[in-house]
Amino acid sequence: MAKLHVHTTVNGEAAEFLCEPHETLLAALRNELGLTGTKEGCATGDCGACSILLDGRLVPSCLVLAAESQDRAVTTIEGLALGDALHPLQRKFLEHAALQCGICTPGFIVAAKALLDRQPEPTEQEARFWLAGNLCRCTGYDKIIRAVLDTAAEMRKTAV
Amino acid sequence: MSDRTFTYVGTRPVRHDGMDKVTGRANYGADFSLPGMLHGVVVRSPHAHARIVSIDTHEAEAVPGVLAVVTARDIPETRAKLMLGEGALDLRDISENLLARTKVLYHGHTVAAVAATTLDAAREGAARVKVTYEVLEPVMTIEQALAANAPILHSDMITKGQHGAKAPSNVAARMELKRGDVGNGFTQADVVVEREFRTPTVHQGYIEPHACVARWGEDGRAFVWCSTQGPFAVRDQCAAVLGMDAAQVKVIPSEIGGGFGGKIVVYLEPLAVALSRKARRPVKMVMGREEVFRATGPTSGTRIRMKLGATRDGTFVAADASLYYEAGAYRGSPAGAGMMCLVAPYRIPNFVIEAFDVVVNKPKVAAYRAPGSPTASFAIESVIDELARELRLDPIDLRLKNAVVEGDAAPFGPAYGPIGLKALLEAARRHPHWKTPLAANQGRGVACGFWFNAGMNSSATVTLNMDGSAAVVTGNPDIGGTRAAQALMVSEELGIPVERIRPGVGDTDSSGYTDVTGGSRVCYATGMAVIGAAQDVREQLRARAAKIWNVDVASVTWEKGHAVPPKGAEKAEPLSVNDLAAKMTHTGGPIVGRASLYAPMAGPGFGAHICDLEVDPETGRSRVVRYTAFQDVGKAVHPSFVEGQIQGGAAQGIGWALNEEYVFDKNGVMENAGFLDYRMPVASDLPMIETVLIEVANPLHPYGVRGVGEVPIVPPLAAVANAMRDATGIRFTELPLSPPRVLAALNHEPTPVRTSDELSAVKADS
Amino acid sequence: MATVHLSSGLTQFTGGVTVIEIDATRVSDALDMLAARYPALRDQLDEIAVAVDGEIYQQPGYQELTSASEVHLVPRIAGG
């Protein structure tokens, strides 16, 4: 079967690629578009390392077909910083040392952004349950949650 | 040493590799490609125990796109020993684990590997490799392995350490540790508690699966990019397995997405090199999550009988224990380490501890964070908790009464140097957590743990640039922030601000030999090499200053990042690192400091954890509602990463206690080989984990550093089980404390029999 | 004479002897002398670690010994 030619928008820019019908969006992002920031941890949607936003919605890209991104907007970890300026989540993760090996970090940051887009004042409980779909084996989640809550507080302060 | 004031050490700069990690730029094992690269896929045994009758690769080789297939025929047969990290491994075992030769010994055991132009073609090729097996009865439990007519996994395995052992056995080794007179000791005891404990196979659970790219060159040199805890370990295993010189293999370590001991032994790299050699193209191999569970190196399931006796006032007088550890398909469980750690925190005048290394048809175990110690701690700390209840003593007081101090003999012989166990326990007793009232259905448990800290080989280079900035390179992949710590050490020695230091991980050509990132050794042993290399630079700078001032180098001192001239020297002002660096070409050439060393293993670590658990009596589900971890860290170079290591280790231990286990069916096939059903803790399972760092300086390290990475996984198993006892009144001696098990016990029902382990245990007992 | 202590798992190869005085100035020599005195011990010595005055070396080497040195032979362990 011939490959599919997909036109999509990734991190605000038009993108296109060829893919097999059964290829996942995760594989297309990494292998066709060279965006390796999104990681494969399990390929079954259980670990969150492949978290991206599809039209603003948090999804595991290992469970989305590449073809499904046709005419939609994809946001990956590579799209969060604004030029030289890191997204506040990225800054806070660094400040709080909320990463050790860092493999889960892109997924967590994208997932946390999805949380703060919807809920600018999350409680610790809300943050923990929202992020329950992202596995981390290194940190015990403590500093991650602190970073997310601290980001929320800072963003509320600077919001007009 | 503990009185020394530091300028940089102990601060919390943002890690140098942090930016790349929060932006997704950092390259891990699967993030690398080479032009013309093929994709490699592994063919795995569908049987837990079988003889290989034949392997036919013709059909596979004929699949369009398939360019190479390898089997055990493609690698040399060998019986040599390989010094890998902390132990001598049988090279034959490593080779046969990589590619089965005559037998397959676990479900998922590799029998062949296929490389093709696309992943789909490689999978198609793998499906067409025809293997004929003579299926054998699998041995899946310790009981089955020890049974009189047990199927024998290795016909040449005679129990080592058993004087007079002659017949083939599934017990690879017996070890023993004795002190005093146990029989007499128990007669002095007023109270004796004896229990038998069981823990299942669990996995390190690193989020990044194994991944590598290998390229064989026409010159017979191989290049390997891979995710590993030790590039030199990968190099040496590849070279040994493939019959090459170490110098013919270059390994570049990627960033690593977790290891915990599971990324030291190789599972893919020699296969990728062999495929590349055959196909004359680079080959990429990435494991899927199922493969990681089925066919890498989880840690031992155990059965531990623990007997401890004390006098009425709580003094421990005698201990007797038998430890059985599953090694998996090949010999080499951490039974010996478990034996040595079991009573390490306590002064016990009489003990006999025996340990058995038992092979079973499960994947060969690999190291998992303090290998051997967590399960041993589970046993003794649970028994101590029972003793405390019987003696009506506070559990912390009982431990304090018997805790080892400097000068006490460790159970394995040598006397302890300065250690912080008593300080930890006292801190725990004083801490508000210990006194806070509990709510309904809640219980509180405390437990201690011990772990050695490895020394071994480390090399470091510090290069000074002409603008006064510097680079430090070691051979240790950075899993938890060690690069930041290394930069802090260089700053401390030279006075260069930490932002002007670039810490890096070298490859096997550009770094001197360095043992793995593991064993809690990087800040300790490699730290010593880093400090040594920085001091070497400092000595060279003093010599350069002496040259400039035309004085004897012995008269030049060093203060706050400056070379200081002797009094009376003509026209001599102190020179900064920047001044001296700018002049390096004129004063003798490049300035490169180096140090390489073999550090002894000493300055052990102790930890104590307090856990509050809430149990739902309707579902058997429990939640950790409060957790405090106390640990003697020697000297926290970068406190944030020390805290992080402690929190992460505690979380792994909590998972081990509450939910994690390999579930095998009657054919020895793992039923829960995915993150959905192999249930590790998630953010909603845990509270904030408070860490209390005690610093009793390790006299062997210039800053007093002790290894910290492994100790934190040791106490949680018993801390959680003791909290469960407190909450429910039930002493669980089998892990995990999963909802079905807890609920059945709460309802006074037999534990649901659903695993082959339990089915076989029932069978064996009847 | 350095004092060598054997962990109890090894004493079955020395007829129960647990402490041995050895006239050696290096660990390597001490182990050779031990193996010569107790041939049954020789095979066990390639998998032990050695502690000299409290410092444990995963692989016995040429560490120096004085007449006051306390040497312990301990099983080798691995870390993760």
Q: Do the chains C and A touch each other, judged by at least 3 C-beta pairs below 8 angstroms?
A: no
Evaluate whether B553 touches B542 at the Cβ level (below 8 Å): yes
Whether A113 and A70 share a structural domain: no
DSSP state at residue A131: G
Q: Residue B29: exposed, middle, or buried by beta-carbon count in 10 A (0-12, 13-18, 19+)?
A: buried
Split into its structural domains, chain B has a count of 3
Give yes or no: residues B436 and B540 share one domain: no
Is the pLDDT at B760 greater than 50, yes or no? no
Same domain, A74 and A28: yes
Of B60-69, B85-94, B210-219, B455-464, the least confident: B85-94
What's the rounded mean pLDDT across residues B59-71? 98
Given a cut of 60, whether residue B436 has pLDDT beyond it is yes
Residue B680 to residue A137, Cβ atoms within 8 A: yes
> Rounded CA gap, C48 and C8, in Å?
13
| Residues A110 and A141 reside in one and the same domain | yes
Name the 3-class secondary structure at B384. helix
Domain endpoint, select from B271, B295, B319: B295
Together in a domain, B490 and B629: no
B130 bridge partner residues: B56
Contact B700 C55 (CB under 8 A): yes
| CATH assignment of the domain containing B525 | 3.30.365.10
pLDDT for the residue B433: 98
Residue C68 lies in a domain: yes
Tens of pLDDT, residue by residue over B610-667, are: 999 999 999 999 999 999 999 999 999 999 999 999 999 999 999 999 999 999 999 9
Q: DSSP state, B713?
A: G
Among chain C, residues having any CB pair with chain B shorter than 8 Å are: 5, 7-9, 11-13, 40, 44, 46-47, 49, 51-59, 61, 70, 72-80
Alpha-carbon distance of B268 to B98, in angstroms, equals 8
Amino acid at A77: I
A92: CATH: 1.10.150.120
State which of B274, B295, B316 marks the end of a domain. Answer: B295
Do B280 and B396 fall into the same domain?
no
Q: How many domains does chain C have?
A: 1
pLDDT digits (tens, 9 = 90+) for B511-543: 999 999 988 889 999 999 999 999 999 999 999
The CA R_g of chain B, rounded to the nearest whole Å, is: 27
Helix (H) or strand (E) holding B285: strand B283-286
Q: Both A32 and A54 in a single domain?
A: yes
Instruction: Give the Cβ contact number of residue B406 at 10 Å.
Output: 13
Nearest to B368 among C58, C74, C80 (CB): C80
> Would you give the DSSP letter of residue B95?
H
Starting at the earlier edge strand, list the strands of the sheet with B442-451.
Answer: B442-451, B605-615, B622-632, B689-694
The domain boundary, picked from A61, A79, A97, lies at: A79
CB A27 within 8 A of CB A4: no
C54 is a domain residue: yes
Cross-chain residue pair B683–A141, CB shorter than 8 Å = yes
In a domain, C31, yes or no: yes
Pairing of strands B442-451, B605-615: antiparallel
pLDDT in the model for residue B653: 98
**Dihedral through CA A138, CA A139, CA A141, CA A144, nearest 10?**
-120
Examine residue B383 and state whether it is found in any structural domain, yes or no. Answer: yes
Sheet with C55-57: strands ordered across: C19-22, C2-6, C70-75, C48-52, C55-57
Q: Which domain holds residue B507?
A: 18-25+455-599
In this structure, the answer to whether residues B110 and B123 fall within a common structural domain is: yes
Instruction: Say if residue B62 is in the same domain as residue B110.
Output: yes
Report the interhelical angle of B395-402 vs B421-430 (nearest 10°).
160
Q: Which token pair is C53?
A: 């005055």
Q: How far is CA B386 from CA B393, B716, B733, in A?
A: 10, 17, 12
Chain B nearest CA to A92, separation (Å): 10
CATH no. for residue B130? Answer: 3.90.1170.50
- Structural domain containing residue C46: 2-75
Assigned domain for B656 exists: yes
Q: Are residues B686 and B742 in the same domain?
A: yes
List the CATH number of the domain containing C38: 3.10.20.30
Dmax (CA) for chain A in angstroms is 54
- Torsion sign across C-alpha atoms B177, B180, B182, B185: negative
State residue B758's pLDDT score. 45
The pLDDT assigned to B86 comes to 54
Q: Which residues of C touch B413 (CB under 8 A)?
A: 5, 7, 51, 72-74
Share of chain B above pLDDT 70, in %: 97
Rounded CA gap, B232 and B245, in Å?
Answer: 13
Whether residue B742 is found in the same domain as residue B668: yes
Cα separations (Å) of B230 from B168, B237, B265, B505, B626? Answer: 35, 11, 9, 11, 36
Amino acid B518: pLDDT: 86
Nearest to A43 among B23, B26, B288 (CB): B288
**Does residue B754 register a pLDDT over 50?**
no
Judge whether residue B414 has pLDDT over 70.
Answer: yes
Task: Convert the pLDDT of each residue in A5-50 to its tens digit.
Answer: 999 999 999 999 999 999 999 999 999 999 999 999 999 999 999 9
Contact B207 A38 (CB under 8 A): no
Flag if A141 and B686 touch (Cβ within 8 Å): yes
Whether residues A67 and A119 share a domain: the answer is no
Residue B85, pLDDT score? 57
pLDDT in tens for each of the 80 residues of chain C? 899 998 877 888 888 888 999 999 999 999 999 999 999 888 888 778 899 988 888 888 899 999 899 999 987 776 66
> Which member of B81, B178, B367 has the closest CB to residue C8?
B178
pLDDT at res. B597: 94
Instruction: Measure the CA–CA gap between B644 and A142, rounded to whole angstroms.
Output: 8
| End-of-domain residue from the set B544, B572, B599 | B599
| pLDDT tens by residue, B209-256 | 999 999 999 999 999 999 999 999 999 999 999 999 999 999 999 999
Q: What is the pLDDT of residues B18-47, one digit of tens each?
A: 999 999 999 999 999 999 999 999 999 999
**Assigned token pair, A70:** 């046709």
**For residue C51, is it within any domain?**
yes
- B198 assigned to some structural domain: no
Which 8-state DSSP code applies to residue B629? E
Q: How far is CA B358 from CA B28, B130, B178, B346, B605, in A?
A: 35, 32, 21, 27, 28
Do A154 and A94 share a domain, yes or no? yes
- Tally of domains in chain A: 2
pLDDT at residue C79 in the model: 64
The values of phi and psi at residue B329, to 5°, are -65, -25
Q: Show the tokens assigned to B344.
A: 């390490």
My answer on whether B540 and B562 are in the same domain is yes
Q: Which residue of A has its CA nearest to B22?
A: A90
Q: Find tokens 């992202």 and name the residue.
A: A134
For residues B483 and B495, give the distance between their C-alpha atoms in angstroms, rounded to a whole number: 17
Q: What is the predicted pLDDT for the residue at B759?
A: 44
Q: Are residues B419 and B563 in the same domain?
A: no
**Do both A117 and A151 map to the same domain?**
yes
Chain B residue with minimal CA distance to A97? B640
The DSSP output letter for B27 is -
B222 shares a domain with B91: yes
Tell whether A110 and A153 lie within a shared domain: yes
Q: Is residue B203 part of a domain?
A: no
Single out the residue in A47, A79, A111 at which a domain terminates: A79
3-state helix, strand, coil in chain C (%, to 5): 30, 30, 35
Q: Where are the beta strands (DSSP E) in A20-150?
A: 51-54, 57-60, 73-75
The Cα–Cα gap between C80 and C72 comes to 24
Same domain as B221, residue B79? yes
Are A8 and A65 within one domain? yes
Same domain, A20 and A74: yes
Contact B602, B454 (CB under 8 A): no
Rounded to an integer, the average pLDDT of B578-587 is 97
Candidates A41, A78, A146; nearest CB to B289: A41
Q: Is residue B428 part of a domain?
A: yes
Measured between alpha carbons, how far is residue A149 from residues A103, A113, A128, B145, C5 in Å?
21, 11, 10, 51, 56
Per-chain mean pLDDT for chain B: 94
CB contact under 8 A, A94 and B22: yes
What φ, ψ does residue B568 adopt, rounded to 5°?
Answer: 90, -10
CB atoms B207 and A134 under 8 Å: no
**Cβ neighbours of B479 in A, within 8 Å:** 100-101, 138
Q: By residue range, what is the domain housing residue A149?
A: 88-158
Residue B373 domain-assigned (yes or no): no
Q: Examine the domain organization and report whether B654 and B756 are in the same domain.
A: yes
